[in-house]
Amino acid sequence: MKTQLIDRFFRYAKLDTQSAEGVTDRYPSTEKQKDLGRLLVEELKAMGLTDAKMDPYGYVMATLPSNLTEAQLNKVPVIGLIAHVDTSPEISGANVQPVLHPHYNGSDIILPADPTQILRAADNPALQDHIGDDIITSDGTTLLGADDKAGIAEIMTALQYLVSHPEIKHGALRIAFTPDEEVGAGTKYFDVAEFGADFAYTIDGENMGEIEDESFNAMLAVFTVNGINVHPGYAKGKLVNAVRIMADLIAQLKTDPAPETTEKREGYLHPYAIEGGVEKCTLKVLIRDFTDQGMETKSMRLHQIRDSIAALYPRAVIELEIKEQYKNMKVKLDENPRVVEFALRAVEQAGMKPRRQQIRGGTDGSRLCFMGLLTPNIFTGGHNFHGRLEWIAVQAMEKATRTIIELVKIWTADSLKTV
């Protein structure tokens, strides 16, 4: 299994599948993501998943048919397994050269093509769990792309295992490899009905043993300050400077919780982009919280700031628009606790201590849950995503693959037992 995982992962990692931010006139955001999609369709077909295909948006879908009897078949739900093909736009994903460091001895790892890139044992406590294991990094000039090519390699290897072990009985499995996850559009054209799974799992998390069943609630707030521009030489009593007003507005946020001052279950307000001049200035603020109550309070707080600044500058027009981005998937997952419980049990059966974790962000699952498909997130074993120091242990990939296989077994056993 290890050799298969390494082979597959290296093959996928070497393909440049970086997605691009801010692309609105085409989907996926970059055509090169389909290179990996095409390869995966071929490999799925070669494995016997004959219906494998990629649609014009770049979604790859395939079925591993059930090997149960007709009578058993309708008792076992169709389970979906999902991973994304793209890598983060933040760091180059071109010409990725994965490097295998066998039998890790616990020291720092210097990345060969850029010795300034050092994976330090002190900064990466998880490395200590992998002494004696085989670590994969990039050569130091690019990201590695374990996010989420590790997830793809793990799903593919689990499929291969099930195909070559027909004694393991399972319901139908639906597979999806999706584009543009890293730019927040992974589910934009995802056809839940066509996918046809009853429940699904993304394989896109980090630490070994973690199942993520909760994400942030997310909204985007946009403040617009409309000032009045006049030639500055003749501006007395006339000019209304949107830049200065916006500076005052931002200063009001000084004591609110921020990403750099919060952790775990705390939410925040994050002013992250500003644009404009004297006549018009806009500010984008992310609102993040795990609870609806917290979202409400934070939105109200922004409205208060708007009102107080508007009162200070009556000649300016100050607008605030708040839009929903995604919601905490936990409310949906709680409707059917088995979906997460089985994943935790699978982790245990694969020989790890299972841990429930909340994501301080979103995942494709947060949207899928609200599109009618319950989808928690399973670990891949990768670390330091979206950076040049990204790494993964082959043994962690093996554990993730085992978790998928155990999960399939649990769904079969439990569904047949309860009837």
Helix (H, G, I), strand (E, B) or coil at 322: strand
390 near Zn ion, rule: CB under 5 A: no
Q: Tell which residue, 341, 328, 338, has the closest CA to residue 369.
A: 328
User: Residue 384: which region, alpha, beta or left (left: phi > 0; alpha: psi -120 to 50)?
Assistant: left
Catalytically annotated residue among 43, 154, 180, 181:
181
Strands (DSSP E) contained in 124-267 are 135-137, 173-178, 199-205, 210-215, 217-226
198 noted as active-site residue: no
The dihedral built from the CA positions of residue 346, 351, 357 and 362, taken in this order, carries a sign that is negative
Nearer to Zn ion, 208 or 246 (CB): 208
Q: Please give the residues from 221 up to 240 whose contact with Zn ion meets the rule CB under 5 A.
A: none
In whole angstroms, the minimum distance from the beta carbon of 153 to Zn ion comes to: 13
406 near Zn ion, rule: CB under 5 A: no
147 noted as active-site residue: no
The number of residues making up the chain comes to 419
The CA-atom distances, in angstroms, between 58 and each of 22, 32, 182 are: 18, 10, 14
The 148-187 contact track toward Zn ion, x by CB under 5 A, reads x---------------------------------------
Nearer to Zn ion, 171 or 362 (CB): 362
| Stretch of residues binding Zn ion (CB under 5 A), selected from 8-16, 100-108, 140-148, 219-227 | 140-148
210 near Zn ion, rule: CB under 5 A: no
In whole angstroms, the minimum distance from the beta carbon of 148 to Zn ion comes to: 4
Cα–Cα dist 346/402, whole Å: 8
User: Contacts with Zn ion: how many residues (CB under 5 A)?
Assistant: 3
State which of residues 16, 86, 204, 214 lies at the interface with Zn ion (CB under 5 A): 204
Cβ atoms of 167 and 118 within 8 Å: the answer is no
Nearer to Zn ion, 204 or 210 (CB): 204
Nearer to Zn ion, 179 or 227 (CB): 179
One-letter amino acid identity for 223? Answer: F
In whole angstroms, the minimum distance from the beta carbon of 228 to Zn ion comes to: 46
Nearer to Zn ion, 151 or 354 (CB): 151
The CA-atom distances, in angstroms, between 404 and each of 9, 61, 133, 271, 419 are: 17, 18, 21, 39, 24
CA 125 to chain CA centroid, nearest Å = 22
Cross-strand partners of 61: 53, 176
Nearer to Zn ion, 380 or 395 (CB): 380
Helix (H, G, I), strand (E, B) or coil at 362: coil
147 near Zn ion, rule: CB under 5 A: yes
| Stretch of residues binding Zn ion (CB under 5 A), selected from 64-72, 103-111, 143-151, 391-399 | 143-151
Q: Please give the residues from 332 up to 361 whose contact with Zn ion meets the rule CB under 5 A.
A: none
Q: Which residues contribute to the site for Zn ion (CB under 5 A)?
A: 147-148, 204
Active site residues: 86, 181
